[in-house]
Amino acid sequence: MLRRTTAALAGSVAALSLLVTACGGAGPDTTPSKATTGKLTFWSFLKGSDHVAEAFNRSHPDIQVTFENVPSNQEYYSKLTNAVKAGTAPDVAVVEYPHLPEFATQGKIEDLSGTLGPVVKERFPEAVRQLVDLGGRTWGVPRDVAPLLLMYRKDFFTRHKIAVPTTWDAYRTMTEQVRKADPDARGGVLFTDNPGLLTALSWQAGAKWFDAGQDSWQVTLDDSPSKRTAAYWGDLAREDLVRSLSAADPFWTSVQKNRTVAYVCASWCAGAHQATVPDQKGKWAVAPVPTWDGKPASGMYGGSSFVIPKGSGNSGAAAEFIKWITTDPEGMKAWVSSGTSSMFPADPALVPVTKAAFGTEYYGGQDLYALGKASYDAVRPGWAWGPVMGTTNTALVDRLPKVADGTESLPDVLTLAERTTVAQMKQRGMRVTAP
């Protein structure tokens, strides 16, 4: 299937604006406030959000932000949806990129084109703009990105003369060598409770799961690049060359016990790894993520934006707050002031701020931000998230454990998830056509 550039994608998602119009009755019909003073309520589950609110309040006496910590994952998005419906929504909220189209199409967030749209256009690269500019409108402002990287135990690789892979063929060879060197060790992980990495690797391979045409959506979770990626990782899991684990405690336990000596993750992993396994300082290193042809290519595994939910009583001040926490150096300093963080700002101008706050000792002096920038620059354009990603992700997660135990193939899981996604979209009144 033809892969279009982001510019073409922006034109093709005109259908999204029609969907927003059709679904725009999700919350109170309020006229955005132009005032840039007053009180704001801020919902976030991101680390450091409390420090950000405090720092903003100190430097902006005319705007006072009250921060409320909220649960993460689907529970949060349900809470935010219910708040919009009830007219009790916060003024500013975090929405991860995969969930943004769903909130836009259901009319749950304000169109920021006239307020923060110019900021997004000026400050952010194409690869991340495409995630918040939908249907020719701006719905959120990016905070961070999560380009893919490869984490590996440098001491283990050196001791057993294992080369750092640059292609996926070489990665498979590496996993075989790791298991041969230590039967208890593995060179990768297939997460059974989080489809985010599979999605990012499909993106990297050139997949395009969603496309909004002139009057309908196309959904291809099982396109050729996705099937290739799924078959590859499904085989690695079935042959016990990578571990099948949940993304939380069992994974980090495997790292601590030297049972996982390499894994694919994103830029944010470096800080999480350092904070979780501090005693392995100097043993780990970071490399570019392998690719199918050895040429640079990447996708994003995570990342978040900030939105103004429908019903905000002070959207003018909310816009000022969002701009500060996403594009101001002092705002970025506040994000990383609460502890170890390797967050990669979506705004490239702010990379020196986070880089200065993240030491290089743990990874033997490596410049992780140079690697992160190269991966960010290599993110494939043209990716778009779908309008019912909660349904899509649930359909994937429900079946990933079956891949781990060998009762289902990973390509089949994608096909079944596509059917579930299409059914939900049609149930919501969206037109879906074959690619």
- pLDDT at position 25: 41
Whether residue 368 is contained in a domain is answered as no
Domain CATH number, residue 69: 3.40.190.10
Structure tokens at 356: 């200065």
User: Same structural domain for residues 207 and 315?
Assistant: no
Gap between the Cα atoms of 252 and 88, Å rounded: 38
User: Same structural domain for residues 132 and 190?
Assistant: no
Whether residue 367 is contained in a domain is answered as no
Mean pLDDT, all residues of the chain:
90
User: Same structural domain for residues 329 and 246?
Assistant: no
**Residues 81-106: tens digit of each pLDDT:** 999 999 999 999 999 999 999 999 99
User: Same structural domain for residues 128 and 22?
Assistant: yes
- How many Cβ atoms sit within 10 Å of the Cβ of residue 341? 21
- pLDDT at position 159: 98
Lookup result for tokens 């078959």: 231
Strands (E), 334-379: 344-345
Gap between the Cα atoms of 399 and 405, Å rounded: 10
Q: Supply the pTM of this predicted model.
A: 0.89
Whether residue 282 is contained in a domain is answered as yes
Whether 24 shows a pLDDT value over 80: the answer reads no
Which segments of 280-335 does DSSP mark as H helices, in order? 315-327, 329-335
**Please, what is the end-to-end C-alpha distance for the chain in angstroms?**
8
What is the chain's percent helix, strand, coil content, to nearest 5?
A: 45, 15, 35
Number of domains in the chain: 2
User: Same structural domain for residues 238 and 183?
Assistant: yes
Containing H/E element for 211? Answer: strand 210-212
Whether residue 334 is contained in a domain is answered as yes
User: Same structural domain for residues 80 and 11?
Assistant: yes
Which pLDDT band holds residue 22 (cuts at 50, 70, 90)? very low
User: Same structural domain for residues 318 and 292?
Assistant: no
Whether residue 291 is contained in a domain is answered as yes
**Of 30-34, 173-177, 209-213, 388-392, which one has max mean pLDDT?**
173-177
User: Same structural domain for residues 53 and 162?
Assistant: no
Whether residue 360 is contained in a domain is answered as no
Whether residue 369 is contained in a domain is answered as no
User: Same structural domain for residues 315 and 418?
Assistant: no
Structure-derived torsion over alpha carbons of residues 266, 248, 417, 301, reported in degrees to the nearest 10? -10
159: exposed, middle or buried (Cβ count in 10 Å: 0-12, 13-18, 19+):
exposed
User: Same structural domain for residues 67 and 215?
Assistant: no
User: Same structural domain for residues 206 and 99?
Assistant: no
User: Same structural domain for residues 243 and 118?
Assistant: no
Structure tokens at 167: 């292609």
Whether 39 shows a pLDDT value over 70: the answer reads yes
Q: Which residues contact 273 (CB under 8 A, 6 or more apart)?
A: 151, 255, 265, 284
**Residues 193-234: tens digit of each pLDDT:** 889 999 999 999 999 999 877 788 999 999 999 999 999 999
φ, ψ of residue 307 in degrees (nearest 5): -130, 165
Q: Average pLDDT, stretch 6-23? A: 41
Q: Which residues contact 194 (CB under 8 A, 6 or more apart)?
A: 246, 247, 397
Long-range contacts of 329-335 (CB under 8 A, 24+ apart): 329/353, 330/55, 330/59, 331/52, 331/55, 331/56, 333/55, 333/357, 334/48, 334/51, 334/52, 334/54, 334/55, 334/56, 335/46, 335/48, 335/51, 335/52, 335/143
Domain assignment of residue 157, given as a range:
148-299+383-433
Whether residue 355 is contained in a domain is answered as no
Structure tokens at 387: 């309008």
Gap between the Cα atoms of 121 and 132, Å rounded: 10
